[in-house]
A and B are shown apart, each in its own frame.
Chain A
Amino acid sequence: MGLEAAIPVDGFLTTSLNRVINWARRSAVWPMPFATACCGIELMATASSRYDLARFGAEVFRFSPRQADLMIVAGRVSVKMLPVLQRIYKQMCEPKWVISMGACASTGGVFDTYAVVQGVDQYIPVDVYVPGCPPRPEMLIEGVMAIQRIIDQDNIPFDGDGRRLPLEIALEPTHRPSDQPVDVTIGAT
């Protein structure tokens, strides 16, 4: 944090407990990758070195739902897979958040058939919708940052009884993707 440079090492810092807890939570969001389709590939790219989700403290992908607090539903969910999704969601410990990544997870996408769920938000609470088919890694990072802003600012749990409502934030794709790939030169002047 750089705090130790700004204040004496034997000094004190006063803050509220909630702020410290939320700071810790948003700085170490551990995603559970529920990757069922091509969005999962983009999810892997997001976690890899070029986009480096570690910059946002969310690089520790946990395949055990009990160790995760953010579920990223990446890809279409078939009707047969839905009970699995719900079971994994139930197994995650509070507090937990859900990102619905891509068109299929959010709406069913082009797969308007008997076998595909038309949006996971019909069956589990979704906090952030990330549009795209698939979304670029920048977009998913924006989604993770939205979760971080939620944790930071909304002081969860905020309604007093320990529960919270799904936030249902839909991201607006306003960013301009940078030119790809970016040349990297080593040792040149």
Chain B
Amino acid sequence: MRKRRGSGWLYDAALMTALEHHAVTRVVEAFGDRTLSRTNFRDQTTLIVQPEDAHEILRFLRDDAACDYALLVDVTAADYLEYPVDQPGRFGVVWVLRSHTHDDLLLVKTWLNPSIDTSGIEHDPALEVDSACDIWPGAEWREREVFDMFGIRFNGHPDLRRILTWRDFPAHPLRKDYPLRGRGERENYEVIDRDSV
């Protein structure tokens, strides 16, 4: 697949064709009219889909016998604000899928771009993607975490509340425009001294 020469990895076009991922091939056959792309990093395949297609393709990946991704390992996201390399969008939402029958791991990713200022917690219609809870029930808490940390909302989620921070937390803290030390959340608490107890 890859040949190590000197200090860098060299990619051979013919060998890259051999890297073709069976599940990605199935998805391309079934969803040929959609915009799809694929990346490889260290033998790890990522299928990149459009946000509106994500739910349908995820369901296909679970139900199709040649794919059979029965386990949703994780739903997570990343903020690419000020990322050194240009990316197709600000937020990447990632589903990590595992197939036991085919002993395979596949990453499905979609890009979202905010339409409003991301420093607050206002509902941004551009940061929405369909929930995978009806496909894998285990997605529920993962999606709540992504919502809590990034403010990405999952349509059709049964109970989309914050899961790590508290209900009134005024930000989505894993966004890169949120300061590491917060905006005073950790300072605004009741102080108990010897006289008040």
Contact = CB atoms under 8 A, between A and B. Distances in A.
Contacts, number: 52
Q: How large is the interface on B (under 10, 10 to 19, 20 to 34, 35 or more residues)?
A: 20 to 34
Contacts of A114: 173, 178-183, 185-186
A122 B194 contact: no
A89 B182 contact: no
B173 A112 contact: no
B192 A163 contact: no
A24 interface: no
Contact of A117 (B186, B190, B195): B186
A159 B197 CA distance: 16
Contacts of B181: 112-114
Interface string B106-118: 0000000000000
Given A113-B181, A114-B173, A114-B181, A79 B189 contact: yes
Contacts of B183: 114
B151 to A, nearest CB: 15
B14 interface: no
Interface of B is mostly: loop
A66 interface: no
Nearest to A86: B192
Contacts of A166: 193-194
Nearest to B179: A114
B130 to A, nearest CB: 30
Contacts of A86: 189-190, 192
A22 B173 CA distance: 48
A90 interface: yes
A118 B194 CA distance: 20
Nearest to B173: A114
Nearest to A79: B186
Given A114-B179, A114-B181, A115-B173, A123 B186 contact: no
Nearest to A80: B166
Q: From A82, A90, A112, A114, name the one whose CB has the most chain B CB atoms within 10 angstroms.
A: A114
B44 interface: no
A122 B197 CA distance: 15
Contacts of A122: 191
A72 interface: no
B194 A80 contact: no
Interface string A80-124: 101100100110000000000000000000001111111000111
A112 to B, nearest CB: 6
Q: From B180, B185, B194, name the one whose CB has the most chain A CB atoms within 10 angstroms.
A: B194
A19 interface: no
B155 interface: no
Given A125-B193, A163-B195, A166-B193, 12 more contacts: A79-B186, A80-B164, A83-B189, A113-B182, A114-B173, A114-B178, A114-B179, A114-B180, A114-B181, A123-B190, A125-B194, A163-B194
11 contacts: A79-B185, A82-B189, A89-B192, A113-B181, A114-B173, A114-B178, A115-B182, A122-B191, A123-B191, A165-B194, A166-B193
6 closest A-B pairs by CB: A114-B182, A79-B186, A124-B192, A125-B194, A90-B197, A123-B191
